[in-house]
């Protein structure tokens, strides 16, 4: 029997807070080793301070999902959560690096309702701060004590390559046509999402498990769970980018359609064929910006052509696969339950 | 007895060619694993092809100093040069990454007489290609077979942090005043150069030695040799940036002065005090660009204030320290001689 959604949210909030408390001092200590200038940008990017370097208690820290996955990954294989901290630090730093550089590439001026680092500090400095975070992530994991650091670094470095590969696909997709033989299909989009979003979530749990001393087989199953979670998470993000409540998402209504972003719902709709798909393609291929009315029409067409329901199915399928993988690994009950609750909660947004 | 300069140059060219031949297939293979788009940018940055992806036989490959240092590092500790190849690949990829990102930060539109990657492909793509190269470098070294890869990755990751730290200092210096209490001193500049240039040269030899199975003490001495080499190399570069023959350097006469670059000769001149230093500070602090006559006057003043001779001494001192370190390590005679010849040759440009 599942707990009611409200209780589950409170329980997950407790788990995230507990993991954050465990990991935070190590992240602070690591960032303190940076050059003061890149350290200032890192603190801003992490939501710890404003552009003047002043602590920002009402700041914009992320949810800390990746660090929690690393801690729970260690606990799930029977180790103390502290064993996963070095992995948690690495994935939080890599995540921050990727946000910094992706915002430059995508030209996104806002991140968590504040100016992106490149907007606040300039493009060159933002490139530098990202590089510093990436180098620090690898260094900290490589220097972590214990017998598992080399295996952990191998995992992280493979993930880095996959992450950058996913970002390259994402940027490339923006240049491809909406229809015809060169168009992006939903399967290509899923690979991209698995690289760009899934790889680091999978790596987070895997690092926790590796540092907790798990066997390679258990690590592989947990990594797979995290990757499915990432694909599901991206699908939900895509739904929210079109139909999400602006008051909740902080993003404009039909925002992804106005920006002509190639997301799963749109690509699934176009791939389905039929009159709604054809009208949608014409709309998306029209020159000039998509205004509010056109974006609203596009949203209706995506839904009519089956893109919304296909994306819901996609999210559900990958969440199920992720939870199935969790059950497949024999995990300690408490951490296994925490992971399952966290997985479910992350997808439990209005879609 | 030292060989005449011409013979030495020919011998060093032979060493560089031999190392390149050994390492090249592994770099090609590694770059072939990249996403096709980042791979294309990497091939361009490495001087293998033009922007259309067409092989560029008259291309602009670098000298390949870092890869040679890694191969010679392995040979110098008694291993086969092939043992150093994984390290050579890593440092060549990291070097290419750093050129790509530094050119963005410094706004340098030209690199080896061709448009820099960010000029040719755009800033966002250049950021991405740099990230891909960095990730690949770490991944390849982390996945290298043999018992030493973990130690090697620890070396490389520490170097990455130091490299980015040096770049942060370099960018920060550009914003500091020429005179007064906040001015940059020659010692600060030397630390920056050790980070930005020395760290990767030291890492290159160290990786070769580590992968060749050397003791930690030998690795440390060789790393120190490479770091001194880097500081000396930067000092010579600074001399050439002011007094180098444009026909040889491919850069405009007094180029670094026109661009008001904070380099060792200028900082040493300003630190010396006296009338020439004071006139130089006034000139550099004047608003507007430095035209040809002003830059020529600045060059005279740097020399009068002792900046040129101080920089020559700096280069000489660090070259001596580097060669001394080589002698301190007990190296196999042939590779030790190759390293010594390479060190000397690198500093043996007209200054």
Do residue A160 and residue B135 have CB atoms under 8 angstroms apart?
Answer: yes
Q: How much is the pLDDT for A109?
A: 86
Helix, strand or coil, per DSSP, at residue A145: coil
Q: How much is the pLDDT for A1?
A: 43
- Is position A3 within any domain? no
Q: How much is the pLDDT for B245?
A: 85
* pLDDT at residue B233 greater than cutoff 80: yes
For residue B261, give the nearest of B238, B243, B280 by alpha carbon: B238
- Which tokens in the block code for residue A142? 């490589």
Do residue A160 and residue B142 have CB atoms under 8 angstroms apart?
Answer: no
For B123, residues 6+ apart whose C-beta sits below 8 A from its C-beta are: A104, A123, B104
Q: What is the ipTM of this complex?
A: 0.94
How many structural domains is chain A composed of? 1
**How many Å apart are CA A32 and CA A46, to the nearest integer?**
13
Estimate the share of chain B in helix, then strand, then coil, as percent rounded to the nearest 5. Answer: 75, 0, 25
**How many Å apart are CA B132 and CA A186, to the nearest integer?**
25
Contact A238/A194 with Cβ under 8 angstroms?
Answer: no
Give Dmax (Cα) for chain A.
60
- Residues of A (9-48) whose Cβ lies below 8 Å from B: 33-35, 37-38
Do residue B35 and residue A123 have CB atoms under 8 angstroms apart?
Answer: no
Q: To the nearest whole angstrom, how far is the Cα of A105 from the nearest Cα of chain B?
A: 4
Q: Tell me the CB-side half-sphere exposure of residue B231, using CA atoms within 13 A.
A: 26
DSSP-assigned letters across all residues of B261-297: ---HHHHHHHHH-HHHHHHHHHHHHSSS---HHHHHH
Q: To the nearest whole angstrom, how far is the Cα of B111 from the nearest Cα of chain A?
A: 17
B139 closest CB neighbour out of A135, A142, A160:
A160
**How many Å apart are CA B64 and CA B19, to the nearest integer?**
8
Q: How much is the pLDDT for B1?
A: 44
Q: Which chain B residues contact residue A35 at CB under 8 A?
A: 164-165, 168-169
Q: What is the dihedral of CA B255, B258, B262, B265, to 10 degrees?
A: 60
Lowest mean pLDDT among A288-292, B215-219, B334-338: A288-292
Q: To the nearest whole angstrom, how far is the Cα of A258 from the nearest Cα of chain B?
A: 22
pLDDT per position as a tens digit, B39-78: 999 999 999 998 888 887 656 678 899 999 999 999 999 9
- Residue in the structure block whose two tokens are 């600074």: B238
Domain with B242 in it: what CATH number? 1.10.600.10
**How many Å apart are CA B187 and CA A213, to the nearest integer?**
46
Estimate the share of chain A in helix, then strand, then coil, as percent rounded to the nearest 5. Answer: 75, 0, 25
A161 closest CB neighbour out of B135, B161, B165:
B135
- Which tokens in the block code for residue B92? 């060549």
Q: Tell me the CB-side half-sphere exposure of residue A148, using CA atoms within 13 A.
A: 22
User: Which residue ranges in chain A fall short of pLDDT 50?
Assistant: 1, 351
Distances A104 to A11, A123, A125, B147, B171 between C-alpha atoms, Å: 36, 7, 11, 39, 19
Tell me which of B160, B162, B173, B200 to substitute to probe the interface with A (most A C-beta atoms closer than 10 Å): B160
For residue B351, give the nearest of B226, B233, B195 by alpha carbon: B233
pLDDT per position as a tens digit, A190-226: 999 999 999 999 999 999 999 999 999 999 999 999 9
Q: How much is the pLDDT for B230?
A: 96
- Is position A203 within any domain? yes
Helix, strand or coil, per DSSP, at residue B185: coil
Average pLDDT over residues B288-312: 94
- Is position A2 within any domain? no
**How many Å apart are CA B74 and CA B83, to the nearest integer?**
6
Q: Tell me the CB-side half-sphere exposure of residue A106, using CA atoms within 13 A.
A: 22
Size of the A and B interface in Cβ pairs below 8 Å: 134
Helix, strand or coil, per DSSP, at residue B108: coil
Q: How far from each other are the two terminal CA atoms of chain B, in whole angstroms?
A: 22
* Residues, chain A: 351
Tell whether A125 lies on the interface with B, counting CB pairs under 8 A: yes
Buried b (16+ CB within 10 A) or exposed e, A92-130: bbbbbbbbbbbbbbbeeeebeebebbbbbbebbbbbbbb
Range of the domain at A157: 8-347
Q: How much is the pLDDT for A3?
A: 58
Q: Which chain A residues contact residue B192 at CB under 8 A?
A: none
pLDDT per position as a tens digit, B94-147: 999 999 999 999 888 888 888 999 999 999 999 999 999 999 999 999 999 988
**How many Å apart are CA B24 and CA A34, to the nearest integer?**
34
- Is position A108 within any domain? yes
Q: How much is the pLDDT for B46?
A: 94
Buried b (16+ CB within 10 A) or exposed e, B42-69: bbbbbbbbeeeeeebeeeeebebbbbbb
A127 closest CB neighbour out of B105, B136, B163:
B105
Contact A134/A100 with Cβ under 8 angstroms?
Answer: no
Q: Write out the H or E segment, with its range, that includes residue B111.
A: strand B110-111
Q: How much is the pLDDT for A192?
A: 97
């Amino acid at each position: 029997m599942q707990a009611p959604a409200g209780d589950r949210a409170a329980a997950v909030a407790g788990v995230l807070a507990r993991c954050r408390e465990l990991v935070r001092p190590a992240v602070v200590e690591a960032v303190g080793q940076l050059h003061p200038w890149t350290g200032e940008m890192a603190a801003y990017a992490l939501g710890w301070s404003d552009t003047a370097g002043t602590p920002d208690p009402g700041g914009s820290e992320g949810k800390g999902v990746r660090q929690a996955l690393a801690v729970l990954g260690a606990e799930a294989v029977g180790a103390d959560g502290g064993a996963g901290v070095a992995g948690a630090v690495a994935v939080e730093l890599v995540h921050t690096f990727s946000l910094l550089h992706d915002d430059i590439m995508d030209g996104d001026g806002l991140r968590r309702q504040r100016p992106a680092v490149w907007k606040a500090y300039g493009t060159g400095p933002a490139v530098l701060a990202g590089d510093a975070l990436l180098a620090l992530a690898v260094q900290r994991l490589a220097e972590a004590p214990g017998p598992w650091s080399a295996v952990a670094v191998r995992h992280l470095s493979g993930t880095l390559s996959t992450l950058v590969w996913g970002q390259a696909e994402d940027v490339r997709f923006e240049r491809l046509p909406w229809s015809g033989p060169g168009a992006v299909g939903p399967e290509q989009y899923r690979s991209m999402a698995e690289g760009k979003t899934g790889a680091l979530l999978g790596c987070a749990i895997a690092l926790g498990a590796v540092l907790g001393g798990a066997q390679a087989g258990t690590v592989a199953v947990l990594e797979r769970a995290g990757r499915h979670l990432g694909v599901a998470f991206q699908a939900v993000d895509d739904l929210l980018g079109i139909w999400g409540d602006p008051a909740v998402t902080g993003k404009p209504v039909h925002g992804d359609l106005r920006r002509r972003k190639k997301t799963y719902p749109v690509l699934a709709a176009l791939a389905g064929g039929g009159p709604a798909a054809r009208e949608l393609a014409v709309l998306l291929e029209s020159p000039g910006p998509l205004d509010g009315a056109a974006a609203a029409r596009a949203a209706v067409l995506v839904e009519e052509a089956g893109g919304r329901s296909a994306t819901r199915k996609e999210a559900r399928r990958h969440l199920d696969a992720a939870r199935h993988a969790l059950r497949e690994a024999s995990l300690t009950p408490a951490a296994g339950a925490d992971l399952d609750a966290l997985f479910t909660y992350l997808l439990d947004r209005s879609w």
